[in-house]
């Protein structure tokens, strides 16, 4: 980390991506490029002292993001303060590595201590792992392609052990996602291959791109896509969520209704 002061608990992630430092930097600083993996849209110019807005359409949420520092191809830093909360700080460090890779380190702080804040902290920690895995997939497989992003979510009473089974085992996936489920091993985890036939959208296969212990990011080869199997806090409730991104030009196969139907099947299996 830098000499900047961090407050509270810290999320610290690092990932290697087969891309140039310029491509990685643009993925954070350029309004169009950040929408290819993280937000749905962004407004503003990412320069020190400026304010950009990150837009999450499915959540009906606009997040103002003060830019603290922006050193092209090297460092991108944001901050922010919410009354009653610890100051937030996010540092992204970018450096070239061997073999045509770029190493990306993301340090995000401002999360309070105490059991009452564990769910929020764990959700952000898991969320950044999922997001960075999506960035890696986008830059390595579909550089410079725009993304189509569809989410479906709903509140649910969640038994995390049961949800984990529904996300990672052949029997669990067969209860809501599809049939003829095949897993390369006893259960899904990081790097494990799988295949199945979804009920509405045809074959789905690939590998697990990220496994945080509570959420998974699945490659979907047939659709140039990824599917996030997610769960997060929303106030006192928990939300189950399917988070779909494809870089296929002009995709027509997936509708909001189809994804909502998949989530409804998950909710029934979870009940």
Tell me how long the chain is.
Answer: 271
HSE value, Cβ hemisphere, 13 Å, CA-based, for 121: 16
Residue 4 belongs to a domain: no
- Looking up residue 232, the CATH number of its domain turns out to be 3.30.530.20
Residues 55 and 114 in one domain: yes
Q: With contact defined as beta carbons under 8 Å apart, do 230 and 259 qualify?
A: no
pLDDT at 251 over 70: no
Instruction: Enumerate long-range contacts of 113-119, CB under 8 Å, 24 or more apart.
Output: 113/8, 113/9, 117/9, 119/233, 119/238
Domain boundary among the residues 141, 167, 188 is at 141
What integer best gives the mean pLDDT of the chain?
94
pLDDT of residue 252: 66
pLDDT of residue 257: 87
Residues 121 and 166 in one domain: no
183: closest CA among 172, 199, 197, 169? 169
Residue 170 belongs to a domain: yes
Residues 127 and 210 in one domain: no
pLDDT of residue 200: 80
Q: Give the pLDDT band of residue 83 (cuts 50, 70, 90).
A: confident
Residues 134 and 161 in one domain: no
pLDDT at 123 over 80: yes
The pTM of the full predicted model, rounded to 2 decimals, is 0.95
Report the distance separating Cα 75 and Cα 104, nearest Å.
10
pLDDT at 253 over 90: no
Residues spanned by the domain of 32: 9-141
How many structural domains compose the chain?
Answer: 2
Report the distance separating Cα 228 and Cα 131, nearest Å.
10
Which tokens belong to 4? 């900047």
Residue 2 belongs to a domain: no
pLDDT at 254 over 80: no
188: closest CA among 206, 162, 201, 161? 206
Residues 155 and 119 in one domain: no
Residue 3 belongs to a domain: no
Residues 90 and 187 in one domain: no
Residues 161 and 257 in one domain: yes
Residues 116 and 158 in one domain: no
Residue 87 belongs to a domain: yes
Residues 186 and 259 in one domain: yes
Domain boundary among the residues 115, 141, 167 is at 141
Residues 182 and 260 in one domain: yes
Residues 127 and 30 in one domain: yes
Angle at 242 between CA 189 and CA 154, to 5 degrees: 130
Higher pLDDT, 116 or 12: 12
Residue 54 belongs to a domain: yes
Q: Give the pLDDT band of residue 250 (cuts 50, 70, 90).
A: confident
Residue 102 belongs to a domain: yes
Residues 166 and 214 in one domain: yes
Angle at 46 between CA 4 and CA 125, to 5 degrees: 55
Residue 40 belongs to a domain: yes
By mean pLDDT, which of 1-5, 7-11, 155-159, 225-229 is the weakest?
Answer: 1-5
Domain boundary among the residues 126, 141, 156 is at 141
């Amino acid at each position: 980390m830098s000499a900047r002061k961090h407050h509270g608990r810290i999320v610290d992630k690092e990932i290697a991506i087969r891309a140039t430092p310029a491509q990685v930097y643009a993925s954070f600083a350029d309004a169009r490029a950040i929408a290819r993996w993280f937000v749905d849209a962004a407004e503003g110019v990412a320069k020190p002292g400026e304010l950009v807005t990150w837009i999450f359409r499915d959540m009906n949420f606009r997040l103002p993001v003060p830019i603290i520092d922006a050193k092209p191809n090297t460092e991108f830093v944001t901050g922010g303060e919410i009354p009653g909360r610890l100051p937030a700080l996010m540092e992204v460090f970018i450096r070239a590595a061997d073999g045509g890779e770029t190493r990306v380190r993301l340090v995000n702080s401002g999360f309070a201590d105490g059991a009452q804040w564990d769910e929020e902290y764990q959700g952000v920690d898991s969320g950044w792992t999922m997001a960075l895995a999506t960035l890696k997939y986008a830059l390595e497989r579909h550089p410079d392609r725009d993304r189509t992003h569809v989410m479906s979510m709903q509140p649910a009473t969640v038994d995390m052990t049961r949800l984990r089974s529904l996300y990672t085992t052949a029997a669990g996936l067969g209860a809501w996602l599809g049939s003829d489920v095949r897993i390369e091993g006893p259960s899904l985890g990081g790097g494990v291959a799988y295949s199945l036939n979804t009920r509405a959208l045809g074959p789905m296969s690939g590998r697990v791109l990220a496994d945080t212990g509570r959420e998974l990011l699945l490659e979907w080869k047939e659709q140039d896509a990824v599917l996030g199997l997610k769960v997060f806090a929303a106030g006192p409730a928990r939300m189950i969520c399917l988070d779909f991104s494809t870089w296929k030009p002009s995709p027509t196969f997936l509708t909001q209704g189809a994804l909502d139907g998949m989530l409804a099947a998950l909710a029934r299996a979870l009940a």
